[in-house]
Amino acid sequence: MLSRRNLLMTAIAVPALMTAGPTLAADGEVTISHYFTGELGLGGLKEIFAEFQDETGIAVKDSPIGHEDFKTGILVRAAGNNLPDVFSYWAGARTQFVIDSDSLRPIDDMWNANGLNDVVAKSVADGATLYDGKRYLVPFGYHYAGMFYNTAVLEEAGITEMPESWGDFLAMCETLKSNGVTPIALGSKNRWPAQFWFDYLILRTAGPDYRAKLMDGSASYDDDEVKKAMAMWKELIDKGYFVDNANADTWTDASDKVARGDAAMTLMGTWITGYWNGIGLEPGGDYDFFEFPQVEAGVPNAVVGPVDGLVISANAANPEDAEKLLNFMISDTDVQAKWAGIQGALSANVNVDDSAYTPVMQHALKAVAGADAFVFNYDLSTPPPVAEVGLSMFARFMDDPSKVDDILAQASEDAEKAFAE
Amino acid sequence: MERETGVWRLVFLALPLGVFTLLVIWPLASSFYYSFTNWNGFSAEYDYVGFENFAKLWTDKLFFNAAVNTVIWMVAAILLPTLLGLVLALLIDSRIPGGSVFKSIFYFPICLSAVVVGQIWIWIYQPDWGLLNTAVNAAVGSDLSFAWLAKPGTALGSVIVAWSWQQTGLSMVIYLAGLTSISEDLLEVCEIEGASIWQRIRIVVIPLLTPATVVVVALSVINSLKGFEILYIMTGGGPFNSSDTLAMHMYNESFKKYLMGYGSAISVVLFLVALTIIGIYFRELKKVDEIYG
């Protein structure tokens, strides 16, 4: 008979045993954690994982974490020496950081065995997948930052030609302003949306090589190159081309202003298309984008954007199957097309058919293909402690551009310290 | 029988103590340990750096900024809801018409989560169409579009107002309960003896409300330590760190800059400060207990 004591012991022991079970993956199972949550992204991924299982018999054990929480969540798992076999990460300085911590496994053999050189677009492959001469990451999708505008607003102001030079751009802003529309929306409450302005102004004036130096600490925020870019940005604000109180708005607030016609355009990544499509705007009809105009002739044309990657942790329990999953995620054109559609992202797989994209995304693809270089946006290009300094500098600048000299002097000092960390 | 009870005590205590050790003691000990290292959060390797992280605190402008903000936050987040709650309780207790309706209205915000309260106040402070600027403009005919949460001078204060709006209801209800225990006869005697309303409140009511005040302040202290949430939602420590508190600074250093060792040092300081405040509070609480039983 079950005594009360036995019952009690059972009550204590059972949950204890359940929680104490091994968290390692079983045979034929790959564990993955990623930041693609939300109704659309997550649902689509689950279907993709199910297809993978049908094809290979390997189950994918999925533990998604929201985008912001992922940044802490993955660190907590790393601290517990409990990283999943595969996880999503942002290509660039952040991935470099994880590699420097010996937490990732190189995938050169898998890359070569599957001929991924012929699958992944070269402009993305070189910058996003190679670290210290080895391959570590497959680009699952990427984005491009351009000047997204409200078609009707531009038409009303009589603007039919998109600006190709800085002079054109200034003239366009002036026309819009005299038509009673604020030319540029920016929502820099969370700081990062302002970075694209800095990125493009530096890239178009000083060029990608100088920017790379600034990002790795061999150039300074006190340099004339930086001062010049900031002065151009300041000119736009002084002339009243930016919305007031940019720091009070988020990027979606700014996107709403453009969608409503309160402002004409916003410099943003292609994920804005996912947001606008979601609120019923028609790509190509209601909105489109133009490329950030040329400023100095002869400077190579670089485009900016983030790459979402998948990486394998150094102590993955099941590295062979993890490699199969990574290959499937990038090589399978159906998977890539489906994901691009769901996310409003571009596929890094060159075999994905153009018909998978909206007209605006096809346009974005052309912009990337026609560029001399693809670089990561600011907070993915420079080490995380420095990125914090720069992002605060942008927000401070938006709050009071007249203090630009002090702000740059301060940033230069703070960045130097941050590089030392 | 006696021995068996002892065994049972152990059995029943084992699980909660185990959980407490695992979830509280262990992480706390880990923080102390990592605060003496240069661990980056990811790497399996790190070095012991002695007191380097603590020395860095002295040169970290953002740490000082966060420490000052934390003091402002603690003082305001304890004082404002307590004082406002007392005033509201006295008003409602004076049997003004519709008192119970007001009581429900004032209590209502405490039922909302910090996320909801934060979002409501983000709308109120919205520069172009928010309630605050709109109301001011309608009242004085101005053309104000001030961004309360986006300006370094007003961000923290604006969040404190939102926080007080939510917390006042709680202290009001506790004070109301305290007021019911004050004898009517006593107040009548005061009145007959010629004490003014102000004298009655100051000399009789407030001292007799001390047990209620103890509870209100205790709850305010505990709640204000948890104030990370509403600040995170409303300003995220911004603009440019102007409303950072120590908890937020610790989070930024640890998780945004990947400086886990330094972040741990900040958390150790925060822990010691909290321990000191709670220690002082318990000592004072004991005195009150001795007086009021």
Predicted confidence (pLDDT) at residue A14 exceeds the cutoff of 70:
no
Dump pLDDT digits (tens) for B207-254.
888 889 988 988 888 788 767 789 889 998 879 999 999 988 998 898
Mutate to test the interface with A, among B39, B258, B264 (most CBs of A within 10 A): B258
Predicted confidence (pLDDT) at residue B1 exceeds the cutoff of 80:
no
Output helix, strand, coil percentages for chain A, rounded to the nearest 5. Answer: 55, 15, 30
Mutate to test the interface with A, among B22, B40, B60, B144 (most CBs of A within 10 A): B40
Q: Identify the three-state secondary structure at position A239.
A: coil
Q: What is the mean pLDDT of residues A156-161?
A: 93
Predicted local distance difference test score (pLDDT) of residue B99: 82
Predicted local distance difference test score (pLDDT) of residue A17: 38
What is the Cα–Cα distance from B263 to A74, expressed in whole angstroms? 17
Q: Which residue has the higher pLDDT, A101 or A10?
A: A101
Predicted local distance difference test score (pLDDT) of residue B93: 85
For residue A81, what is the nearest residue in chain B, using CA coordinates?
A: B44
Residue B30 lies in a domain: no
- Do residues A221 and A408 lie in contact, with contact meaning Cβ atoms separated by under 8 Å? yes
Q: What is the mean pLDDT of residues A356-376?
A: 91
Q: What ipTM goes with this model?
A: 0.82
Q: Which residue has the tokens 């199957």?
A: A321
Interchain CB contact of B150 with A (< 8 Å): yes
DSSP letter, residue A401: G
What is the Cα–Cα distance from B207 to A244, expressed in whole angstroms? 51
Predicted confidence (pLDDT) at residue A23 exceeds the cutoff of 70:
no
What is the Cα–Cα distance from B70 to B152, expressed in whole angstroms? 15
What is the Cα–Cα distance from A215 to A233, expressed in whole angstroms? 19
Average pLDDT, chain B: 88
Dump pLDDT digits (tens) for A250-270.
999 999 999 999 999 999 999
A353-367, A395-409, B19-33: which has the highest mean pLDDT? A395-409
For residue B4, what is the nearest residue in chain A, using CA coordinates?
A: A5
Dump pLDDT digits (tens) for B44-57.
788 999 999 999 99
Pairing of strands A130-131, A137-142: unpaired
Predicted local distance difference test score (pLDDT) of residue A300: 93
Which among B150, B152, B259 is the nearest to A245, CB-wise? B150
Residue B41 lies in a domain: no
| Chain A residues within an 8 Å CB radius of B150 | 189, 245, 247-248, 399
pLDDT level of residue A308 (50, 70, 90 thresholds)? very high
Residue B239 lies in a domain: yes
- H helical segments located in A101-194: 108-113, 122-129, 151-156, 166-178
Q: How many residues does chain A have?
A: 421
Dump pLDDT digits (tens) for B84-116.
999 999 888 887 888 888 888 999 998 998 899
What is the Cα–Cα distance from B267 to A263, expressed in whole angstroms? 43
Residues in CB range of B175: below 8 A, 6 or more apart: B85, B86, B88, B89, B90, B209, B212, B216
Residue B55 lies in a domain: no
Q: What is the mean pLDDT of residues A123-129?
A: 85
Q: E strands of A13-144, at which residues?
A: 29-33, 59-62, 86-90, 130-131, 134-135, 137-142
- Name A268's bridge partners: A146
The number of domains in chain B is 1
Which among B44, B147, B236 is the nearest to A245, CB-wise? B147
Dump pLDDT digits (tens) for B247-284.
889 988 988 888 999 999 999 998 888 888 888 878 87
Average pLDDT, chain A: 89
Predicted confidence (pLDDT) at residue A124 exceeds the cutoff of 90:
no
Q: How far apart are the first and last CA of chain A?
A: 65
| Residue B237 CA from chain centroid, whole number | 16
> What are the φ/ψ torsions at residue A280 (nearest 5 degrees)?
95, 10
Predicted local distance difference test score (pLDDT) of residue B292: 67
- Do residues B220 and B167 lie in contact, with contact meaning Cβ atoms separated by under 8 Å? yes
| Chain B residues within an 8 Å CB radius of A8 | 11
- Do residues B244 and B237 lie in contact, with contact meaning Cβ atoms separated by under 8 Å? yes
Q: Do B258 and A100 touch (CB under 8 A)?
A: no
Interchain CB contact of B129 with A (< 8 Å): no
> Considering the domain A29-142+305-375 in this protein, what is its CATH number?
3.40.190.10
Predicted confidence (pLDDT) at residue A21 exceeds the cutoff of 80:
no
Locate CATH 3.40.190.10 in chain A.
29-142+305-375, 145-304+383-420
Dump pLDDT digits (tens) for A28-82.
899 999 988 775 578 888 899 999 999 999 999 988 888 778 888 888 888 777 8
Predicted local distance difference test score (pLDDT) of residue A285: 93
Interchain CB contact of B111 with A (< 8 Å): no
Residue B39 lies in a domain: no
Predicted local distance difference test score (pLDDT) of residue B3: 65
What is the Cα–Cα distance from A330 to A328, expressed in whole angstroms? 6
> Considering the domain A145-304+383-420 in this protein, what is its CATH number?
3.40.190.10
Residue B21 lies in a domain: no
Please report the residues numbered 51 through 80 in chain B whose beta carbons come closer than 8 angstroms to any beta carbon of chain A. none
The whole-model pTM stands at 0.86
Q: Does the bond joining B207 to the residue before it have cis omega, within 30 degrees of 0?
A: no
Predicted confidence (pLDDT) at residue A412 exceeds the cutoff of 70:
yes
What is the Cα–Cα distance from A209 to A222, expressed in whole angstroms? 17
Predicted local distance difference test score (pLDDT) of residue B293: 57
Predicted local distance difference test score (pLDDT) of residue A278: 84
- Do residues A235 and A401 lie in contact, with contact meaning Cβ atoms separated by under 8 Å? no
Residue B38 lies in a domain: no
**What is the H or E stretch that residue A263 is in?**
strand A263-269
Predicted local distance difference test score (pLDDT) of residue B137: 93
Q: Identify the three-state secondary structure at position A243.
A: coil
| Chain A residues within an 8 Å CB radius of B151 | 399
| Rounded percentage of chain A residues whose pLDDT exceeds 90 | 72
Predicted confidence (pLDDT) at residue B194 exceeds the cutoff of 70:
yes
Q: Do B239 and A395 touch (CB under 8 A)?
A: yes
Joined tokens for residue A20: 């104490």
Residue B283 lies in a domain: yes
Predicted confidence (pLDDT) at residue B29 exceeds the cutoff of 60:
yes
Pairing of strands A182-184, A263-269: parallel
CATH number of the domain within which B166 lies? 1.10.3720.10
Range of the domain at B83: 60-292
**What is the H or E stretch that residue A304 is in?**
strand A302-304
What is the Cα–Cα distance from A411 to B24, expressed in whole angstroms? 38
Predicted confidence (pLDDT) at residue A10 exceeds the cutoff of 50:
no
What is the Cα–Cα distance from B257 to A223, expressed in whole angstroms? 24
Interchain CB contact of A315 with B (< 8 Å): no
